Amino acid sequence: MLKSKKLMSKSYFNVNHVSFVFIYLVYSSIFVFLNNYFPILFFEVLNINRIILALIQFLAYSVILLRPVFASITDKYKINGFQRKYYIIFSGYILAILYMIMGLTYRNMIIFGILLLLVFLSGTMLDVSTKSLIMDISPTDEIKRKTFFFVLCGDALGRFFPFLLYTTLINDVYSINSWMTFFIFSYMVLFPLLGFLPFINENGHSNPEINKTMNNPDLIRSDNKLPNQKLKTIFILLCIFTFFAFSDAIFSYPFFPWLLGKFGDIKFKIFNFLLIFYFILSILSSAVGAFLIKKIKAKKLIFISMPLIGLIYTCYTVAPFAIFIFLYFLGSSIAIITNFNISILIMKFRKGNKSLYFHVIATFKNLSFFIFIPLGTILSNFFITELLIILGAIMLNISIIPLIFIKI
């Protein structure tokens, strides 16, 4: 009987681990297309007014601030007896369909703006529902780390497809036909992968042993010796830290167009070809992150890595092509390890089977995107991208200040 339960538990987690890989493969791919390649199309090919584009971004990104609302909805309301499953299924398919329509109508900025808002709405629901499910089935830090590793693997694989498609399909960056082929092929690759969604399994959510453990999380629990005021202070400081930890988004939108202009079409194509192997780096870095967090506290790792990433960003602005490639992969590897540790750190805020605390903190990441991505788009109209990169590096260093006062 005991053996049977262990086999069921193992099968349950294996099914979901595979599901998480494919969810974030599709999710990550779509947002790589939106944040890396749409800027080239808008800046270099269509020459879209950047102030208008920033306004569209501002409106679209506003919906990602609804993350706590979505978390509260999925915590409180079941669909057909399931807490998370159908939220994941519906939002996943809607996200893919909206992306397909967007890839065919991007030249109409009004339609593009509406679709972008809806893409972020469905994408946020997908991310919230999936990570809530991860916390439901992860009663300990060790299981969280193992489960979140599969999320990072999916994210890494999701970055593989856009880079591969760009390298093979975009022969002329200024050809609209090449871009249309690019988007159509991306949809043909991604949409079939969502056929796995109905197999999401959350039956283990009702396991009494899991629920018993879940009711005693790390920071918010009945036997925690920290006073409520102390917990509130840590909570606020984590929100501030999370906001500035992703402030480098200020140069994310003009970054790829800047690289194209700085190094030229041939070297930029080489850069994209090398990015095909980025998923290997991501998986290895995620594994290193999972190993290091067992040896070193997440807070200490973040303290070391944030200034180092900021220094690498600054070097981007003056590095020749070969050195830039080395710095980019080094910085990306450190960033992956850092993001892994940030996720584990903020996942400590949880109470029972409610994921709201985690998602409130994670919303400050979204707030950072909401402010800094449109701001970066506007500023790129007046300042060179190198200044935005340096500004992003400075703000990353500011992010570690709140951690000084967090005693966890």
Q: Give residue 10's Cα distance to chain centre.
A: 27
Nearest Cα residue to 257 out of 377, 127, 107? 377
Tokens, residue 14: 């294996």
pLDDT in tens, 353-385: 556 677 778 788 889 999 999 999 999 999 999
Residue 172 DSSP symbol = S
| 236-255 per-residue burial string, b: 16 or more CB within 10 A, e: under 16 | ebbbbbbbbbbbbbbbbbbb
What's residue 216's pLDDT? 38
What's the CA angle centered on 270, arms 49 and 43, to 5 degrees?
Answer: 0
For the chain, give the mean pLDDT. 80
The predicted model gives 78-93 an average pLDDT of 82
What's residue 310's pLDDT? 92
pLDDT in tens, 145-162: 777 778 877 887 887 888
pTM for the whole thing?
0.77
Beta-bridge mates of residue 354: 351
| 126-150 per-residue burial string, b: 16 or more CB within 10 A, e: under 16 | bbbbbbbbbbbbbbebebbbebbbb
What's residue 387's pLDDT? 95
pLDDT in tens, 224-274: 444 555 777 878 888 888 899 899 999 999 999 999 999 998 999 899 888
Domains of the chain: 20-196+210-404 (1.20.1250.20)
Is the alpha carbon torsion for 329, 332, 337, 340 positive or negative?
negative
What's residue 212's pLDDT? 42
H or E stretch including 403?
helix 401-404
